[in-house]
């Protein structure tokens, strides 16, 4: 039985055509994968279904009746809940307040705080995260914990249709399995799920049917078991991607970065060397200290002991640490692209160049904006950033193009040591291929790359050596050929390799 039918939906934002005749059919109790590149129109379609965006034309039906939500509230009242890829939480409110926002239990006209916390705690427990305190301020939680809160908020609405836009982008395998279990429970209750993911292995594991969007149009749909991954990729990008990871000669030059016994909040006595031209990968579970290490190296977190040496020169700790790191040649890519990695209101040109504006200064101390735009155009062309003009606000770009802007800033800055924290989080497979090319080209040019990733295939596909974080401590880096997915997981959780399932990571 069809619960939702979408026919010929179009949506234009100025000169940009976001949706150009989208068709979608959703059946009761099914998990329907919506697949496509960043910018293909998936998130716009989700916002149309959730009432946040009004379509220009087309028809929608729900249970055979016309469906035309005028606001998120009206869509929610019809039983549709949206879990956003870019979290839409209120960072100053508590976990319970975020989960139950708009549907708080009340008594005598006042919010029943105790009942709210009990209800929120029950949802967190159902999802397997009872350790998250309901009175904790959301803005102080990790990105993964905030993603859990976002999912629980959708569950609180008792929806009939749940729209999941990249729900596992911040999760390790354990939490991803919890999402899958939750999706299966929802489907067993007759609730329909539209599931967006750039991980095709996830789609195959959880979805029944699929629809592919490309350039705002529906180009394919059917049973997920009837197509291969290669066919799906070709449908998504309009061409075959034969080799996702670039071929390169694995090599390393002189030691560019030497870290000795570094201790900071979340990390304990970390030591390693990183060579010019090398890509060193760091794996580990969420909370293991991976991100804390990258931030401490860049001076965003205070250190209590240890030494950082760049090409034989000791980098001073203490105040002004980040400025010193920039001067020493460090470049940092945050895992939180929109919260930390980009200045969203500013233009693409500003975001590409803001860590090295001195390149456009004149003798009177003014910026030469013409030179800045010209340099930005050069990077846009070189990195294949899809944008109309360098003056376009970076917030209007797709996730993959935003990530290329963030990487381009490090290259314009001419950073020689790149600290990359989950560089392909939340971007599509074609954008991943381009980001992989950027990273390997940087290493081939002699830059030293330290890369944290939650996605083991890209660590195995890109890295020369790999180390694993566990409870704030880093294993000894070993050549990538010395590792298997099984031994990486064993090092991450402290178990014997023979007792583990390699696919569990």
Q: Residue 80: how many CA atoms within 13 Å on its side-chain side?
A: 27
The beta-carbon contacts of 235-238 under 8 Å, at least 24 apart in sequence, are: 235/35, 236/35, 236/36, 236/37, 236/40, 236/212, 236/428, 236/429, 236/430, 237/37, 237/429, 237/430, 238/214
DSSP code per residue over 212-262: EEETTEEEEEEEGGGS-HHHHHHHHHSS----SSPP------SEEEEEEEE
Closest CA to 430 of 294, 234, 278, 260: 234
CA gap 394, 387 in Å, rounded: 9
Closest CA to 180 of 149, 159, 201: 201
User: In this predicted structure, what is the pLDDT of residue 505?
Assistant: 39
Cβ pair 417, 362 in contact under 8 A: no
Q: What angle do CA 322, 323, 325 make, to 5 degrees?
A: 60
Q: What is the pTM of this model?
A: 0.63
* pLDDT, mean of each 10-residue run, the chain (505 residues): 93 83 93 84 90 93 92 88 76 90 80 88 82 90 79 80 80 75 85 86 89 90 90 75 68 87 91 95 84 91 88 78 88 88 93 88 82 92 90 88 91 93 81 88 93 87 92 92 85 57 39
Q: Which pair of structure tokens corresponds to residue 336?
A: 């939180």
Helix H or strand E encompassing 449? strand 448-452
Closest CA to 292 of 404, 487, 168, 143: 143
Q: What are phi and psi of 48, to 5 degrees?
A: -65, -45
DSSP label of 394: G
Q: Report the DSSP beta bridge partners of residue 247.
A: none
User: In this predicted structure, what is the pLDDT of residue 392?
Assistant: 93
DSSP label of 339: I
């Amino acid at each position: 039985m069809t619960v939702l039918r979408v026919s010929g939906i179009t949506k234009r934002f100025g000169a940009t055509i976001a949706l150009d005749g989208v068709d979608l059919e959703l059946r009761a109790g099914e998990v329907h994968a919506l697949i496509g590149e960043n910018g293909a129109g998936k998130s716009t379609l989700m916002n149309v279904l959730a009432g946040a965006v009004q379509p220009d034309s087309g028809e929608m039906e729900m249970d055979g009746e016309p469906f035309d939500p005028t606001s998120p509230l009206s869509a929610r009242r019809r039983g549709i809940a949206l879990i956003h890829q870019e979290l839409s939480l209120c960072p100053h409110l508590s976990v319970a307040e975020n989960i139950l926002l708009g549907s708080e239990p009340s008594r005598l006209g006042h919010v029943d705080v105790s009942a709210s916390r009990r209800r929120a705690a029950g949802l967190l427990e159902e999802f397997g995260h009872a350790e998250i305190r309901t009175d904790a301020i959301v803005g102080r939680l990790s990105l993964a914990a905030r993603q859990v809160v976002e999912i629980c908020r959708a569950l609180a609405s008792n929806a009939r249709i749940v729209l999941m836009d990249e729900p596992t982008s911040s999760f390790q395998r354990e939490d991803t399995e919890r999402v899958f279990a939750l999706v299966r429970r929802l489907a067993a209750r007759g609730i329909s799920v539209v599931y967006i993911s750039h991980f095709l292995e996830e789609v195959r594991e959880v979805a029944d049917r699929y629809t592919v969007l490309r350039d705002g149009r529906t180009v394919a749909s059917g049973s997920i078991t009837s197509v291969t991954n290669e066919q799906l990729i070709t449908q998504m990008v309009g061409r075959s991607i034969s080799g996702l990871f670039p071929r390169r000669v694995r090599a390393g030059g002189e030691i560019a970065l030497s870290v000795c016994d570094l201790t900071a909040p979340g990390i304990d006595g970390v030591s390693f060397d990183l060579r010019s031209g090398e890509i060193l990968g760091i794996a580990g579970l969420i909370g293991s200290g991976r991100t804390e290490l990258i931030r401490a190296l860049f001076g965003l977190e205070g250190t209590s002991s240890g030494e950082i040496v760049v090409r034989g020169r000791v980098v001073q700790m203490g105040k002004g640490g980040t400025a010193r790191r920039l001067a020493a040649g460090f470049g940092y890519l945050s895992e939180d692209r929109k919260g930390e990695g980009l200045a969203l209101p500013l233009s693409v040109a500003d975001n590409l160049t803001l860590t090295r504006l001195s390149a456009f200064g004149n003798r009177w101390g003014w910026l030469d904006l013409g030179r800045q735009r010209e340099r930005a155009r050069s990077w846009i062309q070189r990195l294949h950033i899809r944008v109309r003009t360098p003056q376009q606000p970076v917030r209007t770009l797709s996730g993959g193009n935003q990530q290329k802007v963030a990487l381009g800033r490090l290259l314009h800055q001419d950073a020689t040591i790149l600290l990359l924290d989950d560089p392909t989080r939340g971007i599509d497979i074609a954008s991943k291929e381009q980001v992989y090319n950027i990273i390997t080209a940087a290493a081939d040019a002699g830059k030293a790359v330290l890369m944290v990733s939650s996605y083991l295939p890209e660590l195995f596909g890109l890295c020369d050596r790999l180390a694993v974080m566990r409870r704030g401590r880093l294993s000894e880096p070993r050549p990538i050929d010395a590792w298997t997915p099984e031994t990486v997981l064993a090092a991450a959780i402290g178990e014997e390799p023979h007792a583990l399932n390699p696919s569990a990571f």
